[in-house]
Amino acid sequence: MSVKERLKKFIKVLKITNSAFEQSIDASNGYINSISKSIGIDKVESILEKYPNLNIEWLLTGNGDMMKTNANNEAVIASTQLKKVSKVPIHAQAGFLAGYGDTEFMDNLPVEYWEVDQEYKGDYIVFEVKGDSMDNNSDEAIKENDRLLCREVQRHHWQNKLHINKWDFVIVHKNDGILVKRIIDHNLENATIKCHSLNTYYDDFELKLNDVIKLYNVVDLKRNRRR
């Protein structure tokens, strides 16, 4: 078998489409069918990052087994699942504010396949990050163009203390648009939240929850690779 044929065989084991696999490794549509003799090192790195249980020597040369083995010499089957999630790119964020309740608008958003290791419950969406307010050059930084997998915090939960020590948040505000922030205080009596940026250039500020349209926990992050 060729590299292309072995890759397609692996995709069948994952029980996903070629298109879903291509999205998971940041490849363009049709990438798999365009493979001739080999795979570029950048794509090899992406495949290894997303599917660490794949035996890369098997993929590139045909030697050995498809899947890596554990200490008992048992094949380790990839446990990754792909979740199909609507994505709000930076250029669509103004439209999201106006059209989040519009079924047609939501149905026309692009989608992303996100690798998960369990069945996630709740309503999920992906936001692209605009600006540098959460970029402090640390391991916890959220940088411009990062993609954030977010789970909606239903409005009735806002009446209780938010889990502000566990998550960062995406806040959809009726005047300020889509904000990525750390919430450092939730005042139940006044129904307000205090928002903090990791970048020290930006000051903390307070928002009234009555002016918040949607609230999301940031549960995972993907960083765009430099081309």
Question: Has residue 225 got a pLDDT over 60?
Answer: no
- Higher-pLDDT residue of 14 and 158 is 158
Q: Greatest CA separation found in the chain? A: 66
pLDDT of residue 215: 96
Tell me the residue type at 5: E
Would you say 158 and 214 are in contact if contact means Cβ atoms under 8 Å apart?
no
**Which tens digits make up the pLDDT trace of 31-59?**
888 888 778 888 888 888 888 888 888 88
Query: What fold is seen in the domain 81-222?
Result: Umud Fragment, subunit A (2.10.109)
Confidence of residue 226 (pLDDT cuts 50, 70, 90): very low
Residue 197 pLDDT exceeds 90: yes
pLDDT of 193 > 90? The answer is: yes
Tens digits of residue pLDDT in 77-125? 555 566 788 899 998 888 887 767 677 788 888 888 776 765 667 889 9
Judged against a pLDDT cut of 70, whether residue 227 lies above it is answered with no
Query: φ, ψ for residue 217 (rounded to 5)?
Result: -80, 140
The sign of the CA dihedral 107, 126, 113, 167 is negative
Encode pLDDT of 54-88 as tens digits.
888 888 888 888 887 655 545 455 555 667 888 99
At residue 117, the pLDDT reads 60
Q: Give Cα separations from 81 to 9, 111, 115, 204 (angstroms).
A: 17, 16, 6, 38
The gap between the terminal CA atoms of the chain, to the nearest Å, is: 30
- Whether residue 155 contacts residue 202, with contact meaning beta carbons closer than 8 Å, is answered with no
125-180 pLDDT, tens per residue? 999 999 999 999 988 899 999 999 999 999 999 999 999 988 899 999 999 999 99
pLDDT at 153: 95
Whether the Cβ atoms of residue 119 and residue 186 lie closer than 8 Å to each other: no
Please report the pLDDT score of residue 80 as a whole number. Answer: 55
Top pLDDT among 6 and 1 is at 6
Looking at this protein, which amino acid is placed at residue 49?
E
State how beta strands 81-88 and 124-128 pair.
parallel
Distance of CA 33 to the CA centre of its chain: 25
